[in-house]
Structure 1
Amino acid sequence: MTKKLSLQHFPETKNDLPVKVLQFGEGNFMRAFVDWQIQQMNTQGLFNGKVAVVQPINQGLGDMLQAQDNLYTVILEGLLDGQLVETSEIIHVLDSVTNPYQSHEAYLALAENKDLEFVVSNTTEAGIQFNPNDCLEDTPQQSFPGKLTAFLYKRYQAKLAGLTIIPCELIDRNGDKLKEIVLQYADLWALPSEFKAWLENENTFCCSLVDRIVPGYPRDTAKEWAEKLGYEDQLMVKAEPFMLWVIEGPQSLTQTLPLAEAGLNVIVTSDMTPYRERKVHLLNGPHTAMVPLALLAGLNTVDEVMNDVDFRPFVDDLFAKELIPMLNLPKAELDEYAEQIKERFLNPFAHHQLSAISLNSVSKFTARLLPILTRYIETENDVPVHLAASLAALILSYRGDQVTPADDEAIVTFFQKAWQTPASVVATALANTDLWGQDLTTLPDLQAVVQTQLEAIENRGARAVVQSLKGEK
């Protein structure tokens, strides 16, 4: 019988390091990103701290983690610097998992830990929200910022030092937003002005940007991994080797949280804006741009696109001719990052489904590609043809006969009605400010180019259009 992952079978993973990090969220990403990094520092004797995890919602993985003595395995699979990586490591930095819905006093008791230095979180994009119904007396508050405010107030009452708070949620200016809501709760709950001064002066809220693709538990290959590892792990998590963490904060973080010293791809900066633009437009942007055209051409995964004789040049040209020239970072740095992204897109283990990326394509196009498209038209006095072809394919895909659109009901309904008059569908779609935040028909020549591309896709097919773009400026 295969042994189960536990301290009984792996006693060497036990240690008595102090808890230095409070972590909201015990999902795949945090365990394969933040906790994995903390272990890399500990292994090199640079941090020597453990993590106390808090479940942000009542239903979570706490019981499963406790059944494994808070141990789990991170599997790294993919390409990194041209080399195939396939490694596994038992992560043993989690000290405890607390469910504040069931053990509220134990949760607040964590605030009295003198060794605590950091708070990290990933409670999904919807997690950093203000809930006006939260009260200080709640056990616990419903929102993550409400729970954090109560925690920090408890720490203030214990007359302990403030903390460095680094949220990892995928929203712009996440640290600023979290601080803003914590201060809102301080006002709502009429907490002392001295507490608010302590919040401002003794605590540091950092904005951060995270980047690592984490597919999660390898369901299809779990049995094979159990045989390979020699033990069962119900919480093993698969991730790509590449990772990047950009933290906007004081340079003193490089000493208190020596991630870069541990050889990790972590940047501490006074302004993360260029790095956010780089990630949104060079990683997320090409994903969004390739999806409608590739789906209409019958492709299914990102690696299929990257290995396709027609679509790979489309992706290369999109990067080189339309995306990179519009970003305000050194070209050499952007070129290097673009090559890393292409390598990640080629990951033979990921099989990233285009249908999954297509979810909410309109809002993704607006956030990831529209700023580039408008900037290109303004600076070059021309329409970027690769982005225009993608936009045309997006409009065509929402017709629903070749691709099933996955979006808000109101958006799907809008396109269904717009397609009832095919001759004007491009103009109707581009003029809808609810979709794009602006009237795109006002951008010079965009409507005409998108109309031409849409007709070409309809008449000749997406693959033929992609072929025709080879060599275009």
Structure 2
Amino acid sequence: MQTINKQPVTTYPPRVIQFGEGNFMRGFFNWQLAQMNKQGLFQGSAIVVQPIEQGLKPLLDQQDHLYTVILEGLVEGAPVQTTEIISTIHSVINPYQQWQAFLALAENEQLDVIVSNTTEAGIRFDESDAFMDTPPSSFPAKLTALLYRRFQLEKPGFTIIPCELIDRNGEKLKEAVLAYARLWALPAAFIEWLDTDNQFCCSLVDRIVPGYPRETAAEYEAMLGYHDQLMVTAEPFMLWVIEGTKVEEKLPLQAAGLNVIVTDDMTPYREQKVHLLNGPHTAIVSLGRLAGLETVEDVVNDPDFALYLDHLFQEELIPMLDLPESQLTAYAEEIKERFKNPYVHHQLQSIALNSVSKFTARLLPVLMRYSQKKQQFPKRITASLAALLYRYLTCPFEDDASVTAIFAQAQEMAPSQQIDFLLGSDALWQTDLRFLTAEITDMVALLSQDGPRALLHYVEQNDYATPI
């Protein structure tokens, strides 16, 4: 069988510096560059910087930086599968072996955009990183060294767009860069240049990228007709919200018809994703696992849970978010279609990890907002909290050590005391939830006696949104 680098492709000059060569960036950002190139809007590629010493450079070099993106999922209810060879990685630099080549990127003024995805732990300040290190260990330290070389050359700055999955990622990255500038005693003029000549954009990314299809790779290669060790599977849906100005002038993503939003405030869009995508995941995980379901697809194809999800979106989540209802409703329908994706076997067990912190971030703000606005409990979110507490009290679970200790303490108490103790734990929720004690106690009793489906039926058939 031929290898992928024997396939005919068009290559493009480098215009972007990209930190990170993993599945997500190749299935998300490099794929978007390809869509702009196909329409003649960008005509550029990325020089990829491998952020850790052991990475994919050898494989990418072996394949002439080519790989296949396979989009699989449902679009308007119909299954879709497309394949495309991506040629938007120009070259790969390993700064651990090519430090001077990395710094030399500062010389090329055509490189005026920097993107990154170095995992959630990538944007960090490590005071042990020194200016003379070749390279320093952290991504922000490497970036600071590159920016300082650009400044020394009196070149224009960059538009910098991190894709790491942390809130206000652009601001946090800039804070880390400034911390290194101070640690290394770099000139005040450099710090001023960081502010005046560079734009650190916060961004929000959304696309499920399962990555290399290890179990079915041979089937895909038979379909493609060539060997590809770096193929990436992803869902068709994608969203990129970028908080910044004049981004489209450098990256004409919207002109290419991509689902990209450039805004001066991404907060509502972050709430949309956290509460409408991540929130329902958290709402269904404990109920679904208690019902013996294994995947998100199992949940949305189950009539009881499908009804629960529909009403959760319509009655409790969408009314609490500060965006146009039509936009939120359309997004919710997209999410439900994504949940049904037969190609992505999203295990409830993986979502169940660290359920307490996930509930606190994704659903508790909506519960509190709903309770304050309507003076009653949102019954489906309350049911999901009851299921979480019941699962943690009765089943093995994986969570932070401090969470585990609190539930172990609760298990030593009489059952009549457990719920009030847990809801009153500021360490779990950063607030006092004991105003829910009576409701949650009743729901936990129903779960214990008759199971999760009985609770779902009860919530749908009764006015359980008791006034506060």
Q: In structure 2, what is the equivalent of residue 76 of structure 1?
A: 71
Of 140, 159, 168, 2:163 maps to 168
Aligned residue for 2:161, secondary structure, equals strand
* 1:401-457 deviation digits (Å, cap 9, x = unpaired): 3xx31212232232122122222111111111111111222xx4x121111111110
Q: In structure 2, what is the equivalent of residue 430 of structure 1?
A: 423
Q: In structure 2, what residue type is equivalent to 1:225?
A: Y
Q: In structure 1, what residue type is equivalent to 2:403?
A: I
CA distance in 2, matches of 1:129, 1:243: 27
Q: Structure 2 matches for 1:47-196, cutoff 5 A?
A: 47-196=42-191
CA distance in 2, matches of 1:393, 1:299: 14
Q: In structure 1, what residue type is equivalent to 2:30?
A: D
CA distance in 2, matches of 1:121, 1:438: 35
CA distance in 1, matches of 2:36, 2:229: 25
Aligned residue for 2:167, secondary structure, equals coil
Is 1:40 aligned to 2:35, yes or no? yes
Aligned residue for 1:262, secondary structure, equals coil
Counting aligned pairs with the same residue, the percent is: 57
Residues 398 and 416, structure 1, Cα contact 8 Å, conserved in 2: no
CA distance in 2, matches of 1:19, 1:292: 47
Report the CA distance between 1:59 and its aligned residue.
1.5
CA distance in 2, matches of 1:333, 1:14: 37
Task: Describe the shift of the 1:22–1:347 C-alpha distance in structure 2 as closer, same or farther (beyond 3 A).
Answer: same
Of 442, 449, 453, 1:463 maps to 453
Query: What's the RMSD between the two structures over aligned residues?
Result: 1.1
Residues 99 and 135, structure 2, Cα contact 8 Å, conserved in 1: yes
CA distance in 2, matches of 1:400, 1:194: 60
Residues 18 and 115, structure 1, Cα contact 8 Å, conserved in 2: no
Residues 18 and 116, structure 2, Cα contact 8 Å, conserved in 1: yes
Aligned residue for 1:470, secondary structure, equals helix
Report the CA distance between 1:324 and its aligned residue.
0.7
Of 372, 385, 394, 1:391 maps to 385
CA distance in 2, matches of 1:40, 1:387: 39
Q: In structure 1, what is the equivalent of residue 313 of structure 2?
A: 319
Q: In structure 2, what residue type is equivalent to 1:437?
A: Q
CA distance in 2, matches of 1:310, 1:338: 18
Q: In structure 1, what residue type is equivalent to 2:423?
A: L
* 1:350-371 deviation digits (Å, cap 9, x = unpaired): 1110001111111110110010
Of 414, 417, 422, 2:409 maps to 417
Q: In structure 2, what is the equivalent of residue 448 of structure 1?
A: 438
Q: In structure 2, what residue type is equivalent to 1:419?
A: Q
Q: In structure 2, what residue type is equivalent to 1:231?
A: Y
Which contiguous aligned blocks of 4+ residues in structure 1 show a shift greater than 4 angstroms?
Answer: none
Is 1:23 aligned to 2:18, yes or no? yes
- Unaligned ranges ≥5, structure 2: 464-468
Q: In structure 2, what residue type is equivalent to 1:405?
A: F
CA distance in 1, matches of 2:195, 2:424: 44
CA distance in 2, matches of 1:129, 1:145: 7
Q: Structure 2 matches for 1:290-305, cutoff 5 A?
A: 290-305=284-299
CA distance in 1, matches of 2:54, 2:411: 43
Residues 324 and 334, structure 1, Cα contact 8 Å, conserved in 2: yes
Aligned residue for 2:172, secondary structure, equals helix
Residues 2 and 227, structure 2, Cα contact 8 Å, conserved in 1: yes
Is 1:242 aligned to 2:237, yes or no? yes
* 1:117-148 deviation digits (Å, cap 9, x = unpaired): 10001111111111111111111111111110
Q: In structure 2, what is the equivalent of residue 13 of structure 1?
A: 9
Aligned residue for 1:33, secondary structure, equals helix
CA distance in 2, matches of 1:253, 1:81: 30
Report the CA distance between 1:255 and its aligned residue.
2.5
CA distance in 2, matches of 1:327, 1:244: 18
Q: In structure 1, what is the equivalent of residue 466 of structure 2?
A: none
